[in-house]
Chain A
Amino acid sequence: MTRKKVKLAFITNDSARKATFKKRKKGLMKKVSELSTLCGIDACAIVYSPYESSPEVWPDLRGAQRVVSQFKRMPEMEQSKKMVNQESFIRNRISKAADQLKKVHKDNREKEITQLMYQCLTGKGLQGLGVADLNDMGWLLDQNLKEIYKRIEGLKRAAPASGSEVVEEKAAVAEIGGGGGVDGSAAAMQRGQQWFTEWMGNNNININPSANQQQQMGSSSFGHNGGGDEMIMGGFNDGNNNHPATMWSNVFFP
């Protein structure tokens, strides 16, 4: 079957039109038949054409007559409620397509701005950008930050005994060092320290931000979180910035 795109307009070429008519009429009848069988419903199709004096009908003359009578027996309102003609049908299609277009356009815009945002995060300048782009990027940043805050919150809550809180509060160092422990339980602190010891000693903490690495880290549960929650220590940025590593070492390896 050819899959050439057909323009939705009257076919001016007589023979082409006739050929198309034959094929499509056949297909239409097949579709009505399938619909009727699959869903167990009554239906009929009546097709008048310049090529035949009498109409082509599905299922057959009697069957179609029956369905038509059934139709006419229904109250006027019911008949017209879901009745359409070319105009209304096409208008409806246009409206649906327009809605879809709006949505896809919006999604694409978001994708574009996301890309722009990442470019700006990695150094692209803001000079050439229009107000609309800036506005949208600002909004997107807010959305992302919201998600990040939530997730940071979640992660911290999931593993309070670990040194994650240390990242923020250098003051907490004293507590941890003193064995009092952030959550008050010595065992938990032990756990936390053990976990960090492992982590520090473990030279697997590669500064390579590749996705594989990430997953490796993500899934390797440092195993000692009693709650069963995994503390996911992701990869770190490139080797030039040892910032986080040094921070840890300050705390645990004085």
Chain B
Amino acid sequence: MAKKPSMGRQKIKIQKIEVKNHLQVTFSKRRSGLFKKASELCTLCGVEIAIIVFSPAGKVFSFGHPNVESIIDRYLTRNPNPNNSITDPFNLAEAQRSASVRDLNLQLGQIVNELEMERKRGENLDNMRKTNENHYWWESPVCKLGLEELEQLKEAMEELKKNVTLQGSKMMNSTSIFGSNVAGVFDQYESKPNQAILGSNSGASINNNFGYCHGFF
């Protein structure tokens, strides 16, 4: 599944967008990006922020750290001294909140990294596939193939499917005792079942398998 190419970065004039649809999409994206930037600023520099944004439809979005209301109140009362609970080291609630934000950011960082790596992996796989597509006709997408090729491919695939099913059930039979974790356990071992143990399915050969079991548990 190839990613649909987007328009990429376009330079636009900073003036009211005419097309309603574009305006709504832009609002959605930019509002999200704005909050993201605000969140990062708070994390990186330890500052307190509030942002209020009205949508084209009249709804209101707000972001605040530590929370919108306290920042607004502080602003409205022109209180030069920040609410002490925030900087008070003995305020447990605040400390916990800070700690949890720290953890969340760590978690976020990790998952974003993972995402980037998976995306790169996907790109590599795509490139490999592209190269192969040019060399081997059977790797081309089905819609590009002619009738004769399709028939051949069909037969080859049906044959493979048969073998895969066969191999699969062979493996399942030799491991049915162990339940669904089979794949994980057996991946490391030869898929060829031990002849001595493989009498038949489950029931009858329970005794035989106990010897086998000890190896794993």
A252 within 8 Å of B (CB atoms)? no
Q: Which residues of B contact A (CB under 8 A)?
A: 1, 12, 14-17, 23, 26-27, 30-31, 33-56, 59-68, 71-72, 74-76, 80, 82, 97, 100-102, 104-109, 111-112, 114-115, 118-119, 121-122, 125-126, 128-129, 132-134, 136-140, 142-154, 156-158, 160-161, 163-165, 167-168, 171-172, 175, 182-183, 186-187, 190-192
Q: Is the CB of A9 within 8 A of B43?
A: yes
A126 within 8 Å of B (CB atoms)? yes
A127 within 8 Å of B (CB atoms)? yes
Residue of B nearest to A114 (CB): B129
Q: Is the CB of B48 within 8 A of A9?
A: no
Q: Is the CB of B125 within 8 A of A85?
A: no
Q: Mark A76-88, 1 if CB is under 8 A from B, else 0.
A: 0011011111110
The listed residue (A104, A114, A132) touching B118 by CB distance below 8 A is A104
Q: Is the CB of A82 within 8 A of B61?
A: yes
A251 within 8 Å of B (CB atoms)? no
Residue of B nearest to A117 (CB): B160
Q: Tell me the smallest distance from the CB of B55 to a CB of chain A, in Å.
A: 7
Q: Which 6 A-B pairs have the closest CB atoms?
A: A234-B146, A130-B187, A209-B137, A111-B125, A132-B183, A234-B149
**Stretch binding the partner chain, chosen from A25-33, A171-179, A181-189, A190-198:** A25-33
Residues of B within 8 A of A127 (CB): 167, 190-192
Q: Tell me the smallest distance from the CB of A244 to a CB of chain B, in Å.
A: 5
Q: Is the CB of A97 within 8 A of B111?
A: yes
Pick 5 A–B contacts, CB within 8 A, sort by A.
Answer: A38-B17, A108-B118, A112-B125, A214-B145, A232-B146
Q: Is the CB of B182 within 8 A of A131?
A: yes
Q: Which residues of A contact B (CB under 8 A)?
A: 6-11, 17, 20-21, 24-25, 27-28, 31-32, 34-35, 37-50, 53-55, 57, 64-65, 67-68, 70-72, 74, 78-79, 81-87, 89-91, 93-94, 97-98, 100-101, 104-105, 107-108, 110-112, 114-115, 117-118, 120-122, 126-132, 134-135, 137-138, 141-142, 144-145, 147-149, 151-152, 155-156, 164, 167, 209-211, 214, 217-218, 231-237, 244
Q: Is the CB of A233 within 8 A of B147?
A: yes
* Cα–Cα distance between A100 and B3 once the two chains are bound (Å): 13
The listed residue (B48, B100, B187) touching A87 by CB distance below 8 A is B100
Given contacts A27-B37, A53-B80, A86-B101, contact A79 B146 (CB under 8 A): no
* Cα–Cα distance between A68 and B109 once the two chains are bound (Å): 33
Q: Tell me the smallest distance from the CB of B69 to a CB of chain A, in Å.
A: 8
Given contacts A131-B172, A148-B157, contact A118 B1 (CB under 8 A): no
Q: Is the CB of A35 within 8 A of B53?
A: yes
